Amino acid sequence: MKTEGLGRFLAARLFLPMRSYSLMLSAPGPETVIDGVSYLYFGGTGYLGLATHPEVVEAGCEALRKYGVHSATSRGRFGTNPPVLEVERRAAEFFGTEDAFYFGSGYAANHILVSATADRMEAVLLDESSHYCVQEAARLPGVPVIPFRHGDPDDLRRAASCTQ
């Protein structure tokens, strides 16, 4: 399968503002209706079908009935709830770490990670297929952002050599 065209497309769009005026008319899943047209959907986070899986939906409904829509406050101010602590405990156990933090948004998680480590960065090497939120977070420290071709170790070496 030829992907060079996709790589050029991604490189050309790197760091451009993302704007979408499309209207999703169904739950995200393997197939999704966008602007009235049904598509096989691989572009978001719903391609695994978990958002519509009956057990996941029922667990979500149960949690909503017990805990409400959200905590109504920031976590740092008045605390959190047991499901979040359980997810963090399981993640720490899975990764063999002392602790783990859960963020309901990958966008927020990337920004927090970069903010916490920015003072140690001289450059960011960025896979050209990285999610948009990773691309945006990479710009935060104000250091050079050097893209490299996805799945190409030689191009990664080239990008790394640009930092020296």
Q: Is residue 61 part of a domain?
A: no
Per-position DSSP letters for the chain, written without gaps between them:
---HHHHHHHHHHTTPPP-----B-S-SSSEEEETTEEEE--SSS-TTSGGG-HHHHHHHHHHHHHH-SS-SS-HHHH---HHHHHHHHHHHHHHT-S-----S-HHHHHHHHHHHHGGG-S-EEEETT--HHHHHHHTTT-S-EEEE-TT-HHHHHHHHHTT-
Residue 5 is predicted with a pLDDT of 54
Are residue 95 and residue 120 in the same domain, yes or no?
A: no
Question: In this structure, are 135 and 158 located in the same domain?
Answer: yes
pLDDT at residue 155, rounded to an integer:
95
Give me the pLDDT at residue 34, please.
84
Tens of pLDDT, residues 37-80? 888 887 767 777 888 899 999 999 999 999 888 777 777 777 78
User: Residue 19: what pLDDT?
Assistant: 53
Domain boundary among 80, 102, 124: 102
In a domain, 135, yes or no: yes
Above 50 in pLDDT, residue 27? yes
- Looking at residue 20, its pLDDT comes to 54
Assess if residue 118 is contained within a domain. Answer: yes
Classify residue 21: in a domain, yes or no.
no
Report if residue 35 sits inside a domain: no
CA distance 32 to 41: 6
Give residue 76's domain range.
Answer: 68-102
Is residue 15 pLDDT above 50, yes or no? no
- Please report, for residues 16, 29, 154, the alpha-carbon distance to residue 12 in angstroms, rounded to integers and kept in the order given: 8, 28, 20
Residue-level pLDDT at 26: 85
Mean pLDDT of 113-118: 86
Domain end, chosen from 81, 102, 123, is at 102
Residues 114 and 153 in one domain: yes
Same domain for 136 and 119, yes or no, is yes
Specify whether 139 is located in the same domain as 123. Answer: yes
Residue 150 has pLDDT above 90, yes or no: yes
Q: Are residues 110 and 155 in the same domain?
A: yes
Percent of the chain with pLDDT over 90: 32
Is 113 among the domain residues?
yes
Radius of gyration of the chain (CA): 19
Position 1 in a domain: no
Total number of domains in the chain: 2
* 90, 117: one domain: no
In the predicted model, is pLDDT for residue 132 greater than 60? yes
The yes-or-no verdict on residue 128 having pLDDT over 70 is yes
**Residue 153 maps to a domain:** yes
Residues 108 and 149 in one domain: yes
